[in-house]
Amino acid sequence: MKVAFLLQDTRTLYGAEQATVRLVAGLVAAGVDARVLLLRETRLGPGASPLAEALGRVAPTTDLPVRGRFSRAAVAAIRETMARERIDVLHSTGYKADCHAVTASRNGALFPVVSTVHGWLFRWNLKERLFQALNVAALRRCARVVVLSDFYERCLRRRGLGPLQLARIPTGVVADDVVPRAEARRLWETPGEPFTFGLLGRLSQEKNVALLLAATRRLARDLEASPRSWRILIAGDGPLRERLRRRIARLGLADRVELAGWMDSADFFRRVHVLVQCSRVENQPLSVMEAMAWMRPAIATRAGGLPELVQDGETGRLVPNGCARALAAAMKECLVAPEKAHAAGLRARERLEREYPFERMVRDHIGLYEAEAKG
């Protein structure tokens, strides 16, 4: 079985990119002949790409230069590679890759195209709405579309994709590869460490970091006389970093909140007791799954696919989207009863190992490819 992956070089390595790298590595380990075609925008000029480097370590990777939004040269290169290498299936990810993939395949006449939807922002920005519409049009022409959560499956059903076209394959994780149990327990067993809430991800509008700051301000006022030591760690980079830095100073939270910039997830979770995921919309965020591996409960908004990952009262807490008061109350519960937060983290690890096995994800993808190659 030969499979080519087509995706845009975002020059980032956040959750969706990491999930794709892990999938490619898992397929190669399972005996699939996989390679990567990477759309690289020439307008960005030269520069390092963590995504390209990570993909190059797990599978042969070929750059396809792209000028502008769409490249006929890239389409021709994809088509030529698929024919020359006798590749069975093209697996694309992202709107730009999807549009190039279905065009290169002549709407599936030359070879089947499988796509994975990692999520949209659902903002009312006209340009983003246009890109989303183009993406949906391309997805309708794919042989199969992989969805990670029930939320996005229902979303795509409403946009005209049929139930037989959609394949629900959640991201799988090998918990022990993320962190051994002994290391995951270490923070909980270390006395004297300040109780730390953490947010990990791109600092952009959809992550709604401002909600965490508003909840932190409420919590600081509520616990002003408390001797309990606690702090906030925000890790990641993005367009809102400077604005967030100014807001932290304006709210008087500089001694409480650390804006750390990009951090390796292991370094992040070694310091964090509870993950806060206060996004406006999410699919199946890798940060939450890694928190589960690290035995960290998550406080998450009822947004997108988050309620499918976080079990309210069992592996974490769910709060209304955009409600700082509810988020602050959930954080206070963790501070008042850290033993309950610890127990929730243990249950999160057990649920991850039971319901999101990496081997099943790889096996389901291989079955999907084989069915489309024969069809």
pLDDT tens digits, 34-89: 999 999 988 777 878 999 999 999 999 999 999 888 999 999 999 999 999 999 99
Task: With cut-offs at 50, 70 and 90, classify the pLDDT of residue 124.
Answer: low
Check residue 127 and give its pLDDT.
75
- The answer, yes or no, to whether residue 243 has pLDDT greater than 80, is yes
Check residue 225 and give its pLDDT.
61
Place of tokens 């999101």: 356
For the domain bounded by 175-355, which CATH number is listed?
A: 3.40.50.2000
pLDDT, greater one: 282 or 121 = 282
Q: Is 119 left (phi over 0), alpha (psi -120 to 50) or beta?
A: left
Cβ count within 10 A of residue 34? 24
For the domain bounded by 2-168, which CATH number is listed?
A: 3.40.50.2000
Task: With cut-offs at 50, 70 and 90, classify the pLDDT of residue 10.
Answer: confident
CA-nearest of 35, 48, 118 to 78 is 35
- The answer, yes or no, to whether residue 227 has pLDDT greater than 80, is no
Share of the chain above pLDDT 90, in %: 85
Q: Which two tokens mark 185?
A: 């327990």
Check residue 73 and give its pLDDT.
95
DSSP 173: B
Check residue 325 and give its pLDDT.
97
- The answer, yes or no, to whether residue 33 has pLDDT greater than 80, is yes
**Would you kindly state where each structural domain of the chain is located, as residue ranges?**
2-168, 175-355
Check residue 228 and give its pLDDT.
75
Check residue 68 and give its pLDDT.
80
3-state SS class at 168: strand
> What are the two backbone dihedrals, phi and then psi, of residue 74, each rounded to the nearest 5 degrees?
-65, -40
What pTM was computed for the model?
A: 0.91
Q: Is 201 left (phi over 0), alpha (psi -120 to 50) or beta?
A: left
Q: Which two tokens mark 236?
A: 């990641």
Check residue 121 and give its pLDDT.
61
Among 57-61, 121-125, 229-233, 327-331, the minimum mean pLDDT is found in 121-125
Name residues whose C-beta falls within 8 Å of residue 52's C-beta, 6 or more positions apart in sequence. Answer: 9, 11, 38, 40, 61, 63
Check residue 259 and give its pLDDT.
96
pLDDT in tens, 129-186: 888 888 999 999 999 999 999 999 999 999 999 999 999 999 999 999 999 999 999 9
Edge-to-edge strands, sheet with 257-261: 257-261, 230-235, 195-200, 274-277, 298-301, 316-319
Distance CA 329, CA 331 (A): 5
pLDDT in tens, 285-313: 999 999 999 999 999 999 999 999 999 99
Distance CA 90, CA 243 (A): 40
Q: Is 295 exposed, middle or buried (0-12, 13-18, 19+ CB in 10 A)?
A: buried
Q: How many residues are listed for the chain in this entry?
A: 375
Check residue 69 and give its pLDDT.
82
Check residue 47 and give its pLDDT.
78
∠ CA 335-338-344, nearest 5°, is: 120
DSSP E strand stretches across the chain: 2-8, 33-41, 61-66, 89-93, 113-117, 144-147, 166-168, 195-200, 230-235, 257-261, 274-277, 298-301, 316-319
The reply to whether 2-168 and 175-355 are identical in fold is yes
- The answer, yes or no, to whether residue 333 has pLDDT greater than 80, is yes
Whether residue 232 contacts residue 248, with contact meaning beta carbons closer than 8 Å, is answered with no
Check residue 374 and give its pLDDT.
85
